[in-house]
Amino acid sequence: MNPLRYDLRIIASWITPGAKVLELGCGEGDLLLWLRQNRQVTERGIEIKESKVVKCIEKGISVLQGISTGRSWIIRTRHLTLPSAPRHCSRCMTRYS
């Protein structure tokens, strides 16, 4: 596996061992895989692009093209500071947690 990007390393440092993590827009699952291997988290990813969902599945990442609840953390690594629709993004993250 490639080393984590700098921003993902920072986010990973916030996650406590054994946490339940939901990542919105998880891409190919690199962060979730790292967290599972190094922080023993229970992971779930949500991704829109089917090709990226397939990559997650190949890595053994629990991924959906749907909704999950009951997580300790929700991570949105892209567009965290300037999403195109910040209120909608905040409402969705609150609803899914």
Contact indicator for 97, 74 with CB cutoff of 8 Å:
yes
Q: What is the pLDDT of residues 2-60, one digit of tens each?
A: 688 999 999 999 999 999 998 888 999 999 999 999 999 999 998 888 899 999 999 99
Q: At 45, list the tokens.
A: 């990813």
Residue with the larger pLDDT of the pair 64 and 75: 64
- CA-CA distance, 85 to 62, in Å (whole number)? 27
Q: Could you tell me if residue 36 is inside a domain?
A: yes
CATH number reported for the structural domain that contains residue 65 in this entry: 3.40.50.150
How many domains are there within the chain?
A: 1
Cα four-point dihedral sign 17, 22, 24, 26: positive
Residue with the larger pLDDT of the pair 59 and 71: 59
Give the structural domain span for 69: 6-96
Instruction: Supply the pTM of this predicted model.
Output: 0.69
Cα(first)–Cα(last) distance of the chain, in Å? 29
Q: Could you tell me if residue 1 is inside a domain?
A: no
Q: Could you tell me if residue 85 is inside a domain?
A: yes
